[in-house]
Amino acid sequence: MKNYETVIGLEVHVELATKTKIFCGCSTSFGGDPNTHTCPVCTGMPGSLPVLNKKVVDHAIAVGLAANCEINRSCRFDRKNYFYPDNPQDYQISQLYEPICQNGHVDIDVDGKRKSIRIHEIHMEEDAGKLIHDEAENMSLVDYNRAGVPLIEIVSEPDMRSAEEVIAYLQKLRTIIRYLGASDCKLQEGSMRADVNLSVREAGTEKLGTRTEMKNLNSFKAIARAISNERQRQIDIIEAGGRVIQETRRWDDTKEESFSMRSKEDAQDYRYFPDPDLPGIFISREWIDEIKASEPEFKDEKKRRYVSQYGIPEEDADIITDSKHMADIFEETARLCGQPKKAANWLMVDTIRILKELSKEPEDITFAPENLAKLIKLTEAGTINSSVAKEVFEKVFADNIDPEKYVKENGLAQENDESALREAVQKVIDDNPKSVADYRGGKEKAIGFLVGQTMKAMQGKANPGIVTGLLKELL
Amino acid sequence: MATKIDDDMIEYVSILAKLELEGEARAQARSDMEKMIEFADMLNEIDTEDTDPAVQVIDMENVFRDDTVTNGDNREDMLANAPAKKNGQYMVPRTF
Amino acid sequence: MLLTNKTALELGKLIRAGEVSCVEAVSEFLDVIKEKEPEINAFITVCEEQELKKKALEVQKGIKTGELTSPLAGVPVAIKDNICTKDVRTTCASKILADFVPAYTATAVRRLEEAGAIVIGKTNMDEFAMGSTTETSFFGAVKNPHDITRVPGGSSGGSAAAVAACEVPAALGSDTGGSIRQPAAYCGVTGMKPTYGTVSRYGLIAYGSSLDQIGPIARDVADCAAILETISGKDKKDSTSLNRTDSDFTSALKTDVSDLKIGIPSEYFEEGIEADIKGNVLAAAESFRAMGARTEFFELGLTKYAVPAYYIIASAEASSNLSRFDGVKYGYRTKDYKDLHQMYKKTRSEGFGAEVKRRIMLGTFVLSSGYYDAYYMKALRTKALIKQSFDKAFEKYDIILGPAAPGPAPKLGSSLSDPLKMYLADIYTVSANLAGLPAVSLPCGKDSEGLPVGMMLTGNRFNDKAVIRAAYAYEQARD
């Protein structure tokens, strides 16, 4: 068999984090009952008209700038015409002829090598509604709560060659967009969706093969599986002397195979034309400058600064800066408690462990930096010992409690008073003659058991250093 | 450069437009379309090479709304005209 | 006192003076409607009498308390049935929307109602405003009150006929390619399409969005100006609506036209126009001269290309605008279907009439892959050239004077068999839509058979006041 190269381009849809839909004043919030966030505009009622949400343009410009795109000074919306029940007007308002951003790139690092992935364009458009199947009726039900939620579509050039590159590219986009606060970019929840355009060609050849477009990829794992499967499917067709058909396919991750979405009734002819309901958009230099000025410090820059300013290891800085949210918590905590390394440690170890246990992401952290800073200060001051600190942190993570108040209310402060501890230590010595004998007989380890017994008697609140000192003294 | 309108073309356009045109109706549609396209071809007499298409004739741009929620729950009103509905949703022939 | 032959402003004045009550006014017009509708068929829906009287009492109270001061307070009006009215069925004269009851009211109607005008009913029209005769209505053809064997014109034929038949003093129409002006001419009433963007389109069920404008149809120019003043203004729900500071249109009701330069496109009178029309319109030009205006024939250019450009653009936009009528969210759904696509196809094929389907097919074709540049883009470029030729004309002239239609109202049943011929009769009206211009059509005499002849006065974008002034001055001199 010949050696084949996989050529991949991505169309990434990102739901923008606006309060309202792109063309009407309906809420974009999740979780409402079906069709409770709808109005004449987003249900395609006759006579209704779209009015553009300015915030959508702001976000699109910000993402474009961060992805090194040219911002088109004038752009407009076009209608993409196709019939489907999730599309209330039976056309989607999108941008084809004059998209807002073009000719950008982002850099990815794979296997220690840096590679630039070119971005063909970024355009603004509206999301579709949701269809669910109703078994009892053998019909489908339509919910337009998501219809009209603003999206940007980021279209790359076919510059990727492997699933690893694709995932690195998506992670890079996700980090940038989250840093901008333009979207939460969750693949599972659909706020970030990637359609994979893939073709294969003989290694060393220039001409692109016929590509297919793969939809319904809801995780990085699904993307990797779909890429490997589609690559093989196309190679098999070519090896058998066939020709790949340009089409859209739907990935079924449980069956681990894809299905053609083509049918006679779905001629792919969208009849795009400029939407007469929406005047053009002119983006002034000032507007661009304003957005540029409000850009956050992005990950790479932030990472370098953390290493030099706080002296934390590069790997730690890398993990903390993966999420702007976590990085913000880190810096604020460090500022409040003056202990950047401790702050980093709580985030790197305990926070990430709990997030993993709960299958959550750093974006989901809800505790205030103030409370982590207080916890660090309580530990440093010796007010609580490290095992109590871990217990308190669980509460900080879960309920954002105030550690000072919590420690006081639950009597968790460490007992540092030698005279108070002396009594407890003496009782442990009296109650455990065997261990005492062992220790005195030279078994140094026996002291550990006695420390433990004392801690137990003190409900974990004793200062373990003082307890050890007292035991040694009394024995 | 007369454009040829044949039955395949009518079939294709009717798929896009979601219209069912059978027998007589199709023949009529073809004949109507032929006449209209022949009429439209009259525009080829004018030179538009150096003219930008006029998408809008009134100069206006940057008409925006603020990102503020103005609409509440309109579900009952929105569904009032639905030909078929269930549990607050529009009901349509299965799409899966 | 006979109220039904009054203009809207005259009636409003009587009501505000307390000489006539709102309930009386409503009742009188309802009586005329009851008497004439079996013959004219200008209305698709007449509002329920009790509801109307309730509303009339509310308005009366508002006038009494001084809350309602508009010259239109208490005046019954009719609304073309492609303009949404909350809780009142809005059909577009189509089977596909025969039972559609909007959840909201169009901005233009809301503004009329806020001024105290009373919406008495919804008028008949060509289905989805596609037609020039009001014969394509699912609810039957409208008859011309001047001769019931003739059409009232279209597509706002119901609004024009209702005003002409004294069923209502004034009505709203919509104009995409002449749909206010041409029926106004055929019915001997006055109709105006303002500069594109002057009246909000929110709630107007779209036909050709870049061309559609709502406007008044009334008995005289003053009524049109008063209604336009009431319904115009920036609407935050319509991105294409204009924020005009000069919408005090009634201030243009002046008879001095001595400073006006009026251009008359010579090609409008060369071929295809009937002698009676030509005679009456050129006589009107003579009246302007007599009033001190300067008139001059000139070559406008590109006139014959306006109709094909218009049909390509309007049909393309319509093919997209009318996609939403698919049996999912509202309106008609076919009874029998085996899957989604069959549901779509049968619903639309059964729900739309022949003319609507013809334009959807044409519009779909001109946007389809491989034809977009050759037809749709070509039409948009032609539109740009047509706009330029008007821009050039308005460097020299304040007003362009011409006929509203090449002939009088045709006989019922004589137009639909040859759509292309029917389209060609739009030659004088479509340019104003393509170039976004204000234009008024008003009566300028009768032909040899006694049928009304309409003249059209077109102004430059935003110069609606010049149009109103010229029309008013002519009307005052004529009467």
Closest CA–CA distance from residue A285 to any residue of chain C (Å): 23
Closest CA–CA distance from residue B70 to any residue of chain C (Å): 12
- Tell me the catalytic residues of C: 80, 155, 179
The reported pLDDT for the residue numbered A263 is 73
From chain B, the residues in CB contact with C100 under 8 A are 81
**Residue pointed to by tokens 């979780």:** A31
Ordered by start, the domain boundaries in chain A are: 13-199+259-289, 297-409, 418-474
Q: Closest CB to C369: pick one of A52, A90, A269.
A: A269
**Residue pointed to by tokens 């609580």:** A384
Closest-CA residue of A relative to B81 is: A45
Closest CA–CA distance from residue B28 to any residue of chain A (Å): 22
Distance CA A144, CA C105 (A): 22
Is pLDDT at C98 greater than 70 in this prediction? yes
Taking CB atoms and an 8 Å limit, are A47 and C376 in contact across chains? no
Please enumerate residues of C whose Cβ is less than 8 A from a Cβ of A. 83-84, 90, 92, 97, 100, 102-104, 106, 201-206, 208-210, 236-240, 316-317, 319-320, 323-326, 328-330, 340-341, 344, 364, 367-369, 372, 376
pLDDT tens, chain A, 475 aa long? 789 999 999 999 999 999 999 999 999 999 899 999 999 999 999 999 999 999 999 999 999 999 999 999 999 999 999 999 999 999 999 999 999 999 999 999 999 899 999 999 999 999 999 999 999 999 999 999 999 999 999 999 999 999 999 999 999 999 999 999 999 999 888 999 999 999 999 999 999 999 999 999 999 999 999 999 999 999 999 999 999 999 999 999 999 999 998 776 677 899 999 999 999 999 999 999 999 999 999 999 999 999 999 999 999 999 999 999 999 999 999 999 999 999 999 999 999 999 999 989 898 999 999 999 999 999 988 888 888 899 999 999 999 999 999 988 887 777 777 777 888 888 888 888 888 888 888 887 888 888 888 888 887 778 888 888 888 888 7
The reported pLDDT for the residue numbered C97 is 98
Q: Closest CB to B32: pick one of C99, C358, C434.
A: C358
Structure tokens at A57: 């343009």
Distance CA A224, CA C250 (A): 69
Distance CA C448, CA A428 (A): 126
Query: Is the Cα dihedral A309, A311, A315, A317 positive or negative?
Result: negative
Taking CB atoms and an 8 Å limit, are A142 and C328 in contact across chains? yes
Euclidean distance between the first and final Cα of chain A, in Å? Answer: 79
Q: Closest CB to A85: pick one of B55, B61, B95.
A: B95
Taking CB atoms and an 8 Å limit, are A133 and B94 in contact across chains? yes
Structure tokens at B39: 């009429």
Closest-CA residue of A relative to B96 is: A133
- Give the phi and the psi of residue C119 in degrees, each rounded to 5: -75, 115
The reported pLDDT for the residue numbered A475 is 76
Structure tokens at C108: 């233009």
Taking CB atoms and an 8 Å limit, are A88 and C324 in contact across chains? yes
Taking CB atoms and an 8 Å limit, are B46 and C305 in contact across chains? yes
User: 3-state SS of A149-208?
Assistant: CEEEEEEECCCECCHHHHHHHHHHHHHHHHHHCCCCCCCCCCCEEEEEEEEEEECCCCCC
* Fold of the domain built from segment(s) A418-474: Arc Repressor Mutant, subunit A (1.10.10)
- Count chain A–chain C contacts defined by CB atoms under 8 A: 99
The enclosing domain of C249 has a CATH number of: 3.90.1300.10
Let me know: does C177 contact C426? Beta carbons within 8 Å.
yes
Q: Kindly state the DSSP code that residue A351 receives in the 8-state scheme.
A: I
Closest CA–CA distance from residue A114 to any residue of chain C (Å): 40
Give the H or E element holding residue C110. Answer: helix C107-114
Closest-CA residue of C relative to A144 is: C329
Taking CB atoms and an 8 Å limit, are C328 and B92 in contact across chains? yes
Chains in touch with A (≥3 Cβ pairs < 8 A): B, C
What contacts A214, CB < 8 A, 6 or more positions away? A195, A196, A197, A198, A226, A230, A248, A249, A250, A251, A258
Taking CB atoms and an 8 Å limit, are C319 and B17 in contact across chains? yes
Residues 54-73 of B with CB under 8 A from C: 54-58, 60, 63, 65
Is pLDDT at B2 greater than 70 in this prediction? no
pLDDT per residue over C12-58, tens digit each? 999 999 999 999 999 999 999 999 999 999 999 999 999 999 999 99
Taking CB atoms and an 8 Å limit, are C320 and A271 in contact across chains? yes
The greatest distance separating any two alpha carbons of chain C, rounded to the nearest whole angstrom, comes to 70
Closest CA–CA distance from residue A159 to any residue of chain B (Å): 33
**Residue pointed to by tokens 């009386």:** C24
Residues 126-165 of A with CB under 8 A from B: 131-134, 137-144
**Across all residues in chain C, what is the average pLDDT?**
97
Best to test chain C binding among B19, B31, B90 (most C CBs inside 10 Å):
B19
Q: Closest CB to C346: pick one of B16, B20, B37.
A: B20
Is pLDDT at B1 greater than 70 in this prediction? no
Domain that holds residue B33: 7-45
Is pLDDT at C139 greater than 70 in this prediction? yes
Chains in touch with B (≥3 Cβ pairs < 8 A): A, C
Taking CB atoms and an 8 Å limit, are A19 and B18 in contact across chains? no
The reported pLDDT for the residue numbered A215 is 94
**CA-based R_g, chain B, Å:** 22
Structure tokens at A121: 């364009």
Structure tokens at A149: 């939620």
Q: Is residue B55 assigned to a domain?
A: no
Residues in chain A: 475
The reported pLDDT for the residue numbered A264 is 66
A443 CB neighbour count, 10 Å cutoff? 12
Domain count, chain C: 1
B81–chain C Cβ distance below 8 A for any pair: yes
Best to test chain C binding among A277, A278, A281 (most C CBs inside 10 Å):
A277
Q: Closest CB to C239: pick one of A269, A272, A277.
A: A277
Taking CB atoms and an 8 Å limit, are C381 and B54 in contact across chains? yes
Q: How confident is the model at residue C124 (pLDDT cuts 50, 70, 90)?
A: very high
Taking CB atoms and an 8 Å limit, are B53 and C196 in contact across chains? no
Distance CA A381, CA B78 (A): 61
Distance CA C405, CA C133 (A): 12
Q: Is B49 exposed, middle or buried (0-12, 13-18, 19+ CB in 10 A)?
A: exposed
Domain count, chain B: 1
Q: Is residue B75 assigned to a domain?
A: no
Closest-CA residue of C relative to B3 is: C371
Instruction: Indicate left, alpha or beta for A348 from its phi (over 0: left) and psi (-120 to 50: alpha).
Output: alpha
- Apex CA A76: angle with CA B55 and CA A97, to 5°? 85
Q: Is residue B74 assigned to a domain?
A: no
Closest-CA residue of C relative to A25 is: C237
pLDDT per residue over C214-246, tens digit each? 999 999 999 999 999 999 999 999 999 999 999
